[in-house]
């Protein structure tokens, strides 16, 4: 029995050295240490041996089982380590090696949005974010556009089956912001909005807007003009000629259309400004008393202004882009310019 045990150990050691995969190792372990394995069979043979041989062979077999189990464990660990090292070698990525592939850039609208946010932050405004799918109340009723109001005809377009609406403007955050943070407040709300527009060089059914408002005591139209001119001057790096025209928007009173002289044609007239020399960019006005009341603010004590402009048109003026549809057609030749 002594020689048989020694020969078995030598045989197993030799086989382990040739085993290179976990599957092969487990098969060998079953052949040697399994219920019907070679070492297990010898343990079962102990009962047929004389007592004097049984006392000698028993400890030898137990010792051999323990040694073989340790050898299998060690070989299992060696195989796992070898596989890990092989994978690390094959998948190694040297991050210090320069690459020649061209990296992507931020979309021009995203670039302008971040600049606008930075400009307003320097003027003390906070940047708010809101959901792109709003309730009917938040999108319309809270900003003084009740169900039977004719102003809904321009925006009352897309609806979900649950009765919600992809926001048609970021003005839906006016009352929410005032209720959450109280007054005085200065805030802008940039983001994507959705409308059923007939697309042309100036209009898309999906575009980006920035809503802004300031509510405090003794706020006037002069504050509105000052903030708007500061925004345009910072954005375009020069003084921009602006004008105010009377305009109707349910959530402001009085309301204005803030235009600036077209930078594409320098006021001479083109397809973007529709030959007028002016581009409507920031509809604005004084916050309507009904909106202040909806936010639980006393309009006799507080006043404010609000505006909402298209970020897309600011980008068009900044980079001399003549068609808004270029921003959304996914043409890399266009986007790589920015």
Rounded distance between C-alpha atoms, residue 242 and residue 228, angstroms: 9
| pLDDT score of 182 | 94
- Location of structure tokens 């006016």: 174
| pLDDT score of 126 | 96
| pLDDT score of 187 | 96
Tell which wins on pLDDT, 123 or 73.
Answer: 123
Q: Which CATH superfamily is domain 108-335 in?
A: Bira Bifunctional Protein; Domain 2 (3.30.930.10)
Among 41-55, 95-109, 120-134, whose mean pLDDT is lowest? 41-55
| pLDDT score of 186 | 96
| pLDDT score of 54 | 62
Return the percent helix, strand and coil in the chain, to nearest 5: 45, 20, 35
| pLDDT score of 1 | 57
Tell which wins on pLDDT, 107 or 5.
Answer: 107
Cα angle: 150, vertex 293, 215; to 5 degrees: 100
Tell which wins on pLDDT, 240 or 97.
Answer: 240
Rounded distance between C-alpha atoms, residue 331 and residue 267, angstroms: 29
User: Which pLDDT band, with edges at 50, 70 and 90, does 322 fall under?
Assistant: confident
| pLDDT score of 265 | 81
For 102-127, b where at least 16 C-beta lie within 10 A, e where not — what string? eeeeeebbeebbebbbebbeeeebeb
User: Which pLDDT band, with edges at 50, 70 and 90, does 188 fall under?
Assistant: very high
* Structure token digits, residue 29: 């372990």
| pLDDT score of 298 | 96
| pLDDT score of 84 | 84
pTM for this model (two decimals): 0.65
* Structure token digits, residue 186: 């200065």
Mean pLDDT of 44-62: 66
Tell which wins on pLDDT, 185 or 282.
Answer: 185
Whether residue 199 contacts residue 169, with contact meaning beta carbons closer than 8 Å, is answered with no
3-state DSSP assignment of residue 309: strand
Rounded distance between C-alpha atoms, residue 243 and residue 238, angstroms: 16
């Amino acid at each position: 029995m002594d020689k048989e045990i020694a020969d078995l150990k030598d045989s197993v050691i030799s086989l382990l050295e040739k085993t290179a995969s976990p599957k092969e190792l487990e098969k060998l372990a079953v052949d040697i240490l399994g219920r019907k394995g070679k070492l297990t069979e010898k343990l079962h043979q102990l009962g047929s041996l004389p007592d004097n041989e049984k006392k000698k062979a028993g400890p030898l077999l137990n010792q051999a089982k323990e040694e073989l189990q340790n050898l299998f464990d060690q070989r299992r660990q060696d195989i796992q380590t070898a596989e890990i090292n092989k994978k690390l070698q094959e998948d190694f990525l040297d991050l210090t090696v320069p690459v020649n592939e061209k990296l992507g850039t931020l979309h021009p609208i995203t670039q302008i949005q971040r600049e606008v946010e930075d400009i307003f932050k320097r003027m003390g405004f906070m940047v708010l974010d809101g959901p792109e799918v709003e309730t009917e109340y938040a999108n319309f009723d809270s900003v003084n556009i009740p169900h039977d109001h004719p102003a809904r005809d321009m925006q009352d377009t897309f609806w979900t089956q649950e009765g919600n609406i992809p926001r048609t403007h970021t003005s839906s955050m006016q009352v929410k912001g005032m209720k959450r943070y109280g007054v005085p407040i200065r805030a802008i709300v940039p983001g994507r909005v959705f409308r059923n527009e007939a697309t042309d060089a100036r209009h898309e059914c999906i575009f980006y807007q920035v809503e802004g408002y300031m509510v405090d005591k003794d706020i006037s139209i002069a504050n509105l003009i000052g903030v708007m001119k500061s925004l345009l001057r910072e954005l375009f790096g020069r003084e921009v000629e602006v004008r105010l025209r009377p305009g109707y928007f349910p959530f402001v009173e009085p309301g204005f259309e803030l235009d600036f002289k077209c930078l594409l044609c320098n006021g001479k007239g083109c397809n973007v400004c529709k030959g007028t020399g002016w581009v409507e960019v920031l509809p604005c006005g004084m916050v309507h008393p009904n909106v202040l009341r909806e936010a639980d603010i006393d309009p006799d004590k507080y006043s404010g202004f609000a505006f909402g402009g298209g970020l897309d048109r600011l980008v068009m003026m900044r980079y001399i882009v003549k068609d808004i549809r270029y921003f959304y057609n996914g043409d890399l030749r266009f986007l790589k310019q920015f």
